[in-house]
A and B are shown apart, each in its own frame.
Chain A
């Protein structure tokens, strides 16, 4: 579904990504893992259009998304849940969700809205409340809900575990993995927390200093002790 080919990104003289190629099939979670500074967030920001790549490309189906603006990329079916506080605290839960699909026609938007409330019942209960009154886990659900409001074919998740309790992380990731298989969604998950990510991922990609050092099944990577020591630090 999402094909990343030889993608390179430079910040001035620093090469943040060099010739990264990843295939993200639909219906599965693909996890990119690696230490701080491996280039994980740069990859996500490039795919969503916030950062312009130096060379290489990313395509969804036959459409090239690299080089386009974020506003256009989301319309092509690629939606990012950015790292950290990606909800707008001053808006209500309902408004944060509506924001995610404003560009779509009303009927389509309303039907997705209902689906998101089914998926995250707590958001339906808190719809009138400001987003900053939510707990960390609820806010992450809201952020994912907002991204789903565009009815994406590719969902990009940047460090969803950040600052959340392990139990909540597991719940959220299991839900994402179920969502991927049930609605044929291609999920690209970026995580520093490798153990959690590999548990739900069909395929794992290890990123180190901007380069792909290994691609394998979640179990393979989890079993490779040397690799874990060298790149993942556990």
Chain B
């Protein structure tokens, strides 16, 4: 039982990071019906930028702000340069284009920051906390990760439910034509959504980097998990992305603990397959059915 609790605690931090990346995918899907496979590439790129900022300034906080800003800018660039020209009633073309962006970003990062995997300095103590006579598998850093995730989720919830901008975003996502007729500047709202998703993904990147390493391909596995989570959650549900994200973090930790960490991605994909067979529209979706 103690081992079980240890594995659960050990999975919370990574669950929060997966949830954030899934949230970024959901934000784009809701407004454009495109799965942005470039999201992890954008996050990788902004994390490299954050690493450079951290190296120059020595401050993790400035690096975090830099990542947020770079994430927003990169999100807007991707939308303008790739999605706007391609979209025009061609959703599958747009999805394939996001793969192209992913590959381009990985190639560019390899040229700008050569030398393979790099370590991202630990901003906070990442060793287990000692409490009640034993060391627990959860660190100060895990609490920081969970705290930042919770703050972001709270902020996004307030944005969507309490502000005019949030209402415009939801209206533009559900029915762009009625939104336009109501006076919402839909294309601006969409651009803001890409910036927002870029920032959320960038936070996931800078949070995961210290516990893994950073290289052009190091976030690929995060894409697998985040995509799985977003689909199981229903693709358009923020609550779905968060709850399934944390749940998946726990499953990964339990599978890695009781068997082998190499089995975790397989289990995640099995969950995805099971979900697509039993409830293809996702657990938290607003929509009744989605063809797969």
Contacts and interface: CB of A to CB of B under 8 A. Distances in A.
Interface of A: 48-50, 69-71, 74-75, 79-80, 82, 86-91, 95, 98-103, 146-147, 149-150
Given A71-B186, A88-B175, A79 B167 contact: no
B286 interface: yes
A90 to B, nearest CB: 5
Interface of B: 164, 167-168, 170-171, 174-175, 177-186, 286
A81 B201 CA distance: 38
Contacts of B174: 88-91
A99 B177 contact: no
Contact of B182 (A49, A74, A90): A74
Contacts of B183: 71, 74-75, 100-103, 150
A99 B184 contact: yes
Contact of B167 (A75, A102, A147): A102
A88 B178 contact: yes
A48 B178 CA distance: 11
Contacts of B170: 90-91, 95
Contacts of B177: 50, 82
SS class of chain A's interface: helix, strand, loop or mixed?
Answer: loop
A102 B184 contact: yes
B167 A71 contact: no
A82 B184 contact: no
Contacts of B180: 49-50, 69-71
A99 B179 contact: yes
A71 B164 CA distance: 16
A48 B167 CA distance: 22
B164 A102 contact: yes
Contacts of A99: 167-168, 171, 178-179, 182, 184
A147 B181 CA distance: 8
A88 B186 CA distance: 15
